[in-house]
Chain A
Amino acid sequence: MSLPNIGRFRIGALLLVIIGLCIFPFLARPYLVEVAMIYFLWMILAQSYRLIVTIHDWQLYHIVLYGVGAYTSGMLAKDLGVPVFAAIPLGGVMASLVGVAITSLLLRTKGWGFYIATYGLAEFIRLSWLRFRNPFGGSTGIIDIPYPPVAGGIDFSARIPYYFFSLGVMLIILYMLYRIEKSRIGDAFKAISMDPMLAASTGINIPRHRLLACAIGGFFAGIAGGLLVHRLGAVDPRMFNIVTMLYLLIWVVVGGTNTFWGPMIGVSVMHTLFELSRPLIQIRPMFFGLSMILVLLFMPGGIESLISKAFARWRKLPEMPTAEAK
């Protein structure tokens, strides 16, 4: 009996959050609405990164794929005149292809060497934006990227319509990732991360699943990049450096990667702290670095594990009499 109750509780909480997010832009200051849109992008990034992490490929190029999406979408819209709403998914496709290319190159490199090599190749892509002034614009990047057009009588270049557009895209992506997690493919990913030998012996094709995880995760990261670039109207290589990647890693690890909700909690908590600590910008990295080390040492499941433990204890108390009655 308790399971449907939890399910109903979760759905209720989720609906409350979504309703809150729908009211939010009408009440908040414009600056906060912009910050909220950045949150949505981080949610997509953290969740899509978690999909790759469930298969244990802790790569360090996810932020660069976000950049690939941003550059592709921006350049398609600016230089080739592709409509913005078509350019964004094309950016996702490009990011997905780049991710698959990098991982397929490194499929046979294991463990620590794999992580380092992904870091190197990510820097390679980022530096090529810096190196080739034509067409990538060098260190100043690309400016004057078109804003989204008026569609169906709604001007998507305005703040509030774009807020709802990115909210919608985020919710769709999160739902898709949730379904993937609960599907057969998601189970195969988890099996590979737990025991690759056993997974292979049950007939799971490991390289193919690793590439599939990369392709899906990269696609969504690229879409996040497209969403970013058509709001900012500009893009430059500094936005996608290793420091940003380490922050993504911190959000995901501190939130916890064991369940679907962990990275979202991580983004909500840590990115809020990140925004609040703007006055301390110089020493901010130390706080986040330390928090990641402490979480790894003392709380390997992340914040999410604390919450679910507390939740389990809170739920157990009223249930105890029924257990005795049996």
Chain B
Amino acid sequence: MTSQTLIQTIANAAAVSGMYALIAVGLTLAFGVMQMANLAHGHFFMAGAYTVYALYALNKWPFWLAVAAAVGIGAVIGLAVERGIFRPLRGDVVAGFIATAGLMFVFEVFMGEVWGWGYMRPVPSPYMRAVKFMGASVAFQRVIVIPFAIACIGGLMIFMRWFRLGRALRAVAQDPEAASIQGININRMTALAMAIAGALAGIAGGLMSTIYAVTPALGGHIILPALIVVVVGGMGSIGGVTLASIIMGFVNTFVTTLVDGVTAFMVSVAVMALVLAIRPQGLMGHVVT
């Protein structure tokens, strides 16, 4: 591996880490508040990607406006899923888990029927420039997700720590019953958590739509690595999941570059199994009694 490919691989790994973080932090936030999470979360990401495709590539909206629309669409889908599935099934982890597995099928067929099966929807890159760094050139479009991931997750951490609403979210995650005695409306909190999760998935999908092949199968491809990141980082821990997405992003990208994608996936599952064998609750998860 030459130094140029090394730098390019590091840049790619950072971008993949950022994308994983945006997806997985939403999952883990929802998990913390509801004790359930969404298997169809990858399909929220796909919805964001298709939104950018439809608005920016087809209707010539400005790129950033299209990404903003993807954020909005992600949040709306998140709210709808919370209202339609998670709220009626609250407390039943198995049912929530299985119902969102069914939701994967529904989203995939819906997208396929609306946008066509088997077509790769190309989204042209709005920024053709490349960053030159130590002799290697890295496409600007590819790393654009990194500052967004840092800003979103940093913002979320600040929100969770210093804002009333964020503290209320944390209170519900710790003890829903005590939180509701303090006057916190639990329904509103789960809705908020799912809206944030959907918005984060939407922004990730919107930004990565120029790099990934936008097909109805995209959601299914993206979800398993994201779920593994959540399990490795520890369910409900934003810090742990951010750490895990950096680890898994680098592991995945380096093995993909050096060997191939299938092996990379197998290595990341092996890392997951190793972490779970030593720490069953994940790197920074709490022990649930």
Q: Report yes or no: B269 in contact with A116, Cβ–Cβ below 8 A.
A: no
Is B230 in the interface zone, CB < 8 Å from A?
yes
Partner of B103, one of A115, A253, A289, A291: A289
Residue on A with the closest CB to B265? A127
CA distance A292 to B102 in the complex (A): 6
Question: A289 to B277, alpha carbons, bound, how many Å?
Answer: 33
- Asked if B269 contacts A123 (CB within 8 A), the reply is yes
B174 within 8 A of partner (CB) = no
Interface residues of B in 255-289 (CB under 8 A from A): 262-263, 265-266, 269-270, 272-273, 276-277, 280-282, 285, 288
One of A119, A127, A250, A283 near B102 (C-beta < 8 A): A250
- Report the bound CA distance from A127 to B266 in whole Å: 7
Which secondary structure dominates where chain B touches chain A? Answer: helix
Q: A123-B269, A246-B104, A289-B105 are in contact. Are A282 and B99 (CB under 8 A)?
A: no
- Whether A124 and B231, one on each chain, are in contact in the complex, defined by CB atoms closer than 8 angstroms, is no
Q: Is A81 close to B, CB under 8 A? A: no
Query: A110-B280, A112-B93, A120-B224 are contacts. A282–B102 as well, Cβ < 8 Å?
Result: no
| Shortest CB distance B32–A (Å) | 11
Q: How far is the CB of A245 from chain B (nearest CB, A)?
A: 9
Q: Complex: how many Å from CA A305 to CA B103? A: 23
Q: State how many angstroms separate the Cβ of A130 from the closest Cβ of chain B.
A: 6
Q: Does A300 contact B (CB under 8 A)?
A: yes
Partner of B98, one of A127, A284, A285, A296: A296
Please, what's the 1-or-0 string for B219-233, where 1 marks a CB less than 8 Å from any CB in chain A? 010001001101100
With contacts A253-B98, A296-B89 known, is A116 near B230, CB below 8 A? yes
Q: Is the CB of B273 within 8 A of A286?
A: no
Within 8 Å by CB of A120, from B35, B37, B269, lies B269
Interface size class of A (residues with CB under 8 A): 35 or more
* Chain B residues within an 8 Å CB radius of A120: 224, 227-228, 231, 269, 272-273
Task: Give Cα A242–Cα B108 distance, bound, in whole angstroms.
Answer: 14
Is B117's CB within 8 Å of the partner chain A? yes
Closest-CB distance, A223 to chain B (whole angstroms): 26
Q: Binary interface profile of A, 20-59, with partner B (CB < 8 Å = 1, else 0)? A: 0000000000000000000000000000000000001010
Q: Which of B103, B262, B280 contacts A108 (CB 8 A)?
A: B280
Is A110's CB under 8 angstroms from B102's CB? no
Q: Decide if B98 touches A112 in the complex (CB within 8 Å).
A: no
* Residue B85, interface by CB 8 Å: yes
Tell me whether B101 and A246 are in contact (CB under 8 A).
yes
Which A residues from 77 to 109 make CB contacts under 8 A with B? 105-106, 108-109
- Partner of B270 from A124, A130, A289, A291 at Cβ < 8 Å: A124
CB-defined contacts of B94 to chain A, threshold 8 Å: 56, 58
Which residues from B are CB-within-8-Å of A108?
276, 280
Docked Cα-Cα span, A292 to B95, in Å, equals 10
Do the beta carbons of B273 and A121 come within 8 Å of each other? Answer: yes
Give the shortest distance, in Å, between B287 (CB) and chain A (any CB): 9
Interface residues on B, range: 35 or more
Q: Are B277 and A116 in contact (CB under 8 A)?
A: no
List residues of chain A with CB within 8 A of the CB of B88.
Answer: 297
Interface string of B99-140 (1 = CB under 8 A from A): 101111110111011000100000000000000000000000
Q: Can you name the residue of chain A whose Cβ is closest to the Cβ of B118?
A: A282
Q: Please indicate the chain A residues that have their CB under 8 angstroms from the CB of B99 in the complex.
A: 292-293, 296-297
CA–CA, A207 to B254, complex, Å? 37
Q: Which residues of B contact A115 (CB under 8 A)?
A: 97
Interface presence of A290 (CB below 8 A): yes
| C-alpha gap A284/B99 in the complex (Å) | 17
CB-defined contacts of B273 to chain A, threshold 8 Å: 105, 117, 120-121, 124
Give me 16 other A-B pairs in contact (C-beta within 8 A), A112-B36, A116-B231, A293-B103 excluded. Answer: A58-B98, A108-B280, A110-B280, A112-B31, A112-B97, A113-B231, A116-B227, A117-B231, A120-B224, A123-B224, A124-B265, A127-B266, A131-B266, A253-B98, A289-B106, A297-B89
Can you report 26 residue pairs joining A to B where beta carbons are below 8 Å apart? Answer: A58-B94, A58-B97, A105-B273, A109-B231, A110-B281, A112-B36, A112-B93, A113-B276, A113-B285, A119-B224, A120-B224, A120-B273, A124-B266, A124-B269, A131-B266, A246-B101, A249-B98, A282-B109, A286-B108, A289-B105, A290-B105, A290-B106, A292-B99, A292-B102, A293-B99, A297-B89
Leading 4 A-B pairs by shortest Cβ distance: A289-B105, A286-B109, A108-B280, A289-B102
Show the binding face of A for B, using Cβ within 8 Å. 56, 58, 105-106, 108-113, 115-117, 119-121, 123-124, 127-128, 130-131, 242, 246, 249-250, 253, 282-286, 288-293, 296-297, 300
